A and B are shown apart, each in its own frame.
Chain A
């Protein structure tokens, strides 16, 4: 038995490690318990009081957005603080911030599917919903920044209009239109496709006639036929494969808005990867911000387990470190380029009028995230919730620094100026947060926030050939010996 000794000890070390790793679903769940727990949130007649309180706050903020848009359309974009030289300010900051948040949803639903990461299953649905709502919020900013959004149709979309004008296909702004509209469309299709089998479950579980009809219509007559499942799974995998390069392209294209210009602080080749990493980092922070209260409030701790929280924290740590590398790279190249404008850009960021924001973002995105190395932090939900809010703030500050500091002092000191946002800038931003939260509250009340059919596939009963547990890396001989 001597040759087996080292193998056994490594297997027991692995077993010990596995015991310390929480499962992706709490033990003891069955097809029925998974289905009932998740569909109950939607089909229950009683809406919790907390939901009404949360929705009221969100709806109030949404009304702030309505008022802001009304004022904007009646007056013009002069109500905002952006003006030459800072012609782009809150619009693009918030646009990039929201789009970035959306990226985590696609990462979870598509990239983790391709990597066969089973823990994605219980968080993909609401993360995808988050993507859709974030894209909707993001799209409002460039559209309303045009001041007259009904005219923006011919500025943005290529269609044969009466003036014979066509958009400039060499401009990153038009690439953005194509990238974001494709991203929104593909995310919506992917999300809806995932929902259909669950809508059929709701159709079959609903007590009220109206709910049965409504979910029945949305379920398209889904009956779980083996032939249908085969094509469904193929389409789902193909969509995941298509969405993976798409999500990377979207934030790369967003970064081209800056990188293709020749402004110091924007004209940098690090931008696409640095933006994509920042997007995933902030997106996971938002998933965390939503998941921690959601699992607590609806008692979904069995499905969104500590495993998910740990893994999301680790993804934030990795992508946060890539972002930190981006900051270091920017600073290094500002010095290494020996270009006085680049050097001044960095000097201005660190010591100029907006320096407090620069150092705040460094404190959050470089220093604070080091806390994620500690298991005790990853286990502490209230602390993680607060830290995830800070990450969202940190990423917003990053976009503010990139945009405002580069524009407010560029090549000609005679055209330098300060940028100060107005109350309408803040009300627009707060309003989109209201829109996002209001949509999210409606989503968790009327649609299953966790993919029910995918959860059913990970309960033990779903296995067609129940195989004895093989310890990872174990040789078949030893298994036979144990069973004998």
Chain B
């Protein structure tokens, strides 16, 4: 195994060749008391949410707020432009003819929600992030093809270089590697 200087260690990475192997390992690592860890996979694996006990994301609430703000913005824009900034009397009809502002309001609602979903997702994921320690491991290039990885970070209170490595070896990992920061 490649050794990394002790003071500079991001964590230990175990490699698995099936999604089931990763889910099983993540579950066991959590039961063993590890908390600061993450799993990496080439496909989304729903079972990992439970295995790693991931919290539900706040994204849906943000999207709801984004949509509501978009809708209010669109309706206000149409009303303000038609009634305040550029009022035009068309046969005495009301200036804030709200039914005709609905299409624009609808579209800006959609736009607000979609922009929040897209930008919010990347922001919560803290991406784009050009550098991350896991990329230091050569085998990690397969994380976007056919290999599954579990990383226990050195900052975890239960982390111990030797015993954690031993623990990961016992989970039927294909390989265990130290990750330089």
Tell me if A478 counts as interface (CB < 8 A to partner B).
Answer: no
Q: Which of A194-226 contact B (CB under 8 A)?
A: 197, 200-201, 203-205, 220-226
Query: Does B154 touch A at the CB level, under 8 Å?
Result: no
Q: Which of A226, A233, A235 contacts B41 (CB 8 A)?
A: A226
A189 near B115 with CB under 8 A, answer yes
A186:B114 contact, CB within 8 angstroms: yes
Structural contact, B121 and A175, CB atoms closer than 8 A: no
For the A-B complex, the count of residue pairs with Cβ-Cβ distances under 8 Å equals 195
List, in ascending order, chain A residues with CB within 8 A of B78's CB. Answer: 169
Q: B77 touching A158 by the CB < 8 A rule?
A: yes
* A231 contact from B19, B59, B140, Cβ within 8 A: B59
Which chain A positions have C-beta within 8 A of B100? 169-170
B145-178 near A? 1/0 per residue, CB < 8 Å: 1100000000000000000000000000000000
In contact, A35 and B125 (Cβ under 8 angstroms) = no
- From the candidates B104, B114, B130, name the one contacting A169 in the complex (CB within 8 A): B104
Evaluate contact between A238 and B59: CB separation under 8 angstroms: yes
A211 to B23, CA, bound (A): 33
Given contacts A200-B144, A225-B39, A239-B114, whether A178 and B47 have CB atoms under 8 Å apart is no
The residue in A174, A189, A222, A238 that gathers the most chain B C-beta atoms within 10 A of its C-beta is: A238
| Residue A229 is within 8 A (CB to CB) of chain B in the complex | yes
**Shortest distance between the CB of B134 and any CB in chain A (Å):** 6
B43 touches A231 (CB 8 A): no
Distance of A34 from chain B, by nearest CB (Å): 9
Q: Is the Cβ of A233 less than 8 Å from the Cβ of B44?
A: yes
Closest to B105 in A: A178
Q: Are B45 and A165 touching (Cβ within 8 A)?
A: no
**Main secondary structure on chain A at its contact with chain B?**
helix
A423 CA / B85 CA spacing, docked (Å): 43
**A47 contacts chain B at the CB level, 8 A cutoff:** no
Give the contact stretch, choosing among A94-102, A352-360, A372-380, A453-461: A453-461
A225 near B38: Cβ-Cβ < 8 Å: yes
Q: Verify B40–A185 contact, CB threshold 8 A.
A: no
| CB–CB A249/B106 < 8 A | yes
Q: Are B108 and A182 neighbours in the complex by a CB distance under 8 Å?
A: yes
**Which one, B42, B60, B107, B124, contacts A31 given CB within 8 A?**
B42
Q: Is the CB of A189 within 8 A of B118?
A: yes
- Does A234 count as interface, using CB distance less than 8 angstroms? yes
* Closest Cβ neighbor of B131 among chain A residues: A221
Query: Nearest chain A CB to B159's CB is how many angstroms away?
Result: 18
**Cβ-defined partner of A178 (8 Å) among B38, B49, B107, B129:** B107
Q: Chain B residues with Cβ under 8 A from A158's Cβ?
A: 77, 81
Q: Is the Cβ of A31 less than 8 Å from the Cβ of B146?
A: yes
Q: Are B146 and A35 within 8 A (Cβ)?
A: yes
With contact pairs A249-B107, A464-B23 given, residues A32 and B121 touching in the complex (Cβ less than 8 Å): no
A441, B20: Cα distance in complex, Å: 39
Q: How large is the interface on A (under 10, 10 to 19, 20 to 34, 35 or more residues)?
A: 35 or more
Judge whether A189 and B114 touch: CB under 8 Å. Answer: yes
Question: Do A165 and B110 have beta carbons less than 8 Å apart?
Answer: no
- The interface residues of chain B lying within 8 Å CB-to-CB of A289 are none
The answer on a CB contact under 8 Å between B59 and A249 is no
Contact with B along A12-51 (1 / 0, CB 8 A): 0000000000000000001110010000000000000000
Cβ A242 vs Cβ B127 within 8 A: no
With a cutoff of 8 Å between Cβ atoms, the chain B residues found around residue A169 in the complex are 77-78, 81-82, 100-101, 104
Contact B146 A221 (CB under 8 A): no
Within 8 A of A (CB), among B113-141: 113-115, 117-118, 120-122, 124-125, 127-132, 134-135, 140-141
Bound Cα distance from A456 to B130, whole angstroms: 25
Tell me the smallest distance from the CB of A467 to a CB of chain B, in Å.
12
- CB pair B57–A230 under 8 Å, yes or no, is yes
Question: What A residues does B124 contact at CB under 8 A?
Answer: 231
State how many angstroms separate the Cβ of B20 from the closest Cβ of chain A: 5
Chain B nearest CB, measured from A124 CB (Å) = 15
Chain B, 42-95, CB within 8 A of any chain A CB: 42-45, 47-49, 52, 54, 57, 59-60, 63, 67, 74, 77-78, 81-82, 85-86, 88, 90
A447-484: CB near B (< 8 Å → 1, else 0) gives 00000010011000111111000000000000000000
Q: Which residue of A lies closest to B24 (CB)?
A: A464
* Interface residue A164 (Cβ < 8 Å from any Cβ of B): yes
Closest B residue to A218 by beta carbon equals: B128
Q: Is the CB of B47 within 8 A of A167?
A: no
Measured between C-beta atoms, what is the minimum distance from B87 to chain A in Å?
A: 10
Q: Chain A residues near B145 (CB, 8 Å)?
A: 31-32, 35, 201, 204-205
- Interchain nearest-CB distance for A278 vs B (Å): 20
Q: Max chain A CB contacts within 10 Å: which of B78, B97, B130?
A: B78
Question: Any chain B CB within 8 A of the CB of A435?
Answer: no
CB-defined contacts of B110 to chain A, threshold 8 Å:
182, 186, 242, 245-246, 249
Does any Cβ of A come within 8 Å of B33's Cβ? no
- Complexed CA–CA distance, A35 and B141 (Å): 13
Cα separation A253 to B104 with both chains bound (whole Å)? 10
A347 within 8 A of B: no
A155: CB under 8 A from chain B? Answer: no
**What is the bound-complex CA distance between A403 and B154, given in angstroms?**
69
A236 CA to B140 CA, complexed, in Å: 25
Is A66 in the interface zone, CB < 8 Å from B?
no
Pick the 8 closest A-B CB pairs, nearest first: A235-B121, A31-B146, A220-B128, A166-B81, A175-B103, A169-B78, A166-B86, A229-B44
What are some 6 contacts across the A-B interface (CB < 8 A)?
A: A158-B77, A169-B78, A175-B104, A189-B118, A193-B121, A235-B121
Q: List the interface of chain B (C-beta within 8 A of A).
A: 18-20, 23, 26, 38-45, 47-49, 52, 54, 57, 59-60, 63, 67, 74, 77-78, 81-82, 85-86, 88, 90, 97, 100-101, 103-104, 106-108, 110-111, 113-115, 117-118, 120-122, 124-125, 127-132, 134-135, 140-146
Having A197-B144, A222-B127, A466-B20, one finds 14 other A-B pairs with CB under 8 Å, namely A35-B145, A169-B77, A186-B111, A189-B118, A220-B129, A221-B132, A233-B44, A235-B117, A238-B60, A238-B113, A245-B106, A246-B110, A453-B42, A462-B19
